[in-house]
Amino acid sequence: MPGAGRTPVAGRRVQLMATCLCDAFHDDVAAATVEVLEHLGCEVSFPEAQTCCGQPAFNGGDWPASRKVVRHAVRTFSAADPVVVPSGSCAAMMFHGAVLEFEHEPDLGEVEALGRRTWELGDFIVNGLGVRSWPGRFDAAVALHRSCHTRGTGSGDAVALLLASIAGLRLVEFGEEEQCCGFGGTFSVGFPHISAAMGDLKLDHVRAVRPDVLVSGDMGCLMHLGGLAAREGMPLRSMHFAQVLRDAMGRIP
Residues in contact with other proteins by CB under 8 A are: 18, 20, 22-27, 30-31, 34, 46, 48-52, 54, 56-63, 65-66, 68-69, 71-72, 97, 100-101, 148-149, 151-152, 176, 178-180, 182-199, 201, 223-224, 226-228, 230-231
Q: Give the shortest CB-21-to-other proteins separation in angstroms.
A: 9
Nearer to other proteins by Cβ, of 130 and 233: the residue is 233
Q: Give the shortest CB-165-to-other proteins separation in angstroms.
A: 27
Nearer to other proteins by Cβ, of 113 and 201: the residue is 201
Nearer to other proteins by Cβ, of 11 and 152: the residue is 152
User: Which value, in Å, is the radius of gyration of the alpha carbons in the chain?
Assistant: 18
Q: Give the shortest CB-111-to-other proteins separation in angstroms.
A: 15
Helices (H) and strands (E) in the chain, counts: 13, 8
The residue among 136, 145, 206, 144 whose CA lies nearest residue 168 is 136
Q: Measure the CA–CA gap between 149 and 136, rounded to whole angstroms.
A: 29
Q: Measure the CA–CA gap between 158 and 125, rounded to whole angstroms.
A: 8
Q: Measure the CA–CA gap between 231 and 140, rounded to whole angstroms.
A: 25
Nearer to other proteins by Cβ, of 10 and 104: the residue is 104
Q: Give the shortest CB-44-to-other proteins separation in angstroms.
A: 9
The residue among 91, 55, 24, 22 whose CA lies nearest residue 187 is 55
CB 163, CB 171: distance < 8 Å: yes
CB 17, CB 74: distance < 8 Å: no
Q: Give the shortest CB-7-to-other proteins separation in angstroms.
A: 23
Nearer to other proteins by Cβ, of 42 and 166: the residue is 42
Q: Give the shortest CB-48-to-other proteins separation in angstroms.
A: 7
The CA angle 55-124-169, to the nearest 5 degrees, is: 105
Nearer to other proteins by Cβ, of 27 and 139: the residue is 27
CA within 13 Å, CB half, 232: 15
Q: Measure the CA–CA gap between 182 and 228, rounded to whole angstroms.
A: 11
User: How many residues appear in the chain?
Assistant: 253
Which secondary-structure segment (H or E) carries 90?
A: helix 88-92
Nearer to other proteins by Cβ, of 116 and 149: the residue is 149
Q: Give the shortest CB-119-to-other proteins separation in angstroms.
A: 19
Per DSSP bridges, beta strands 167-171 and 137-145 are: parallel
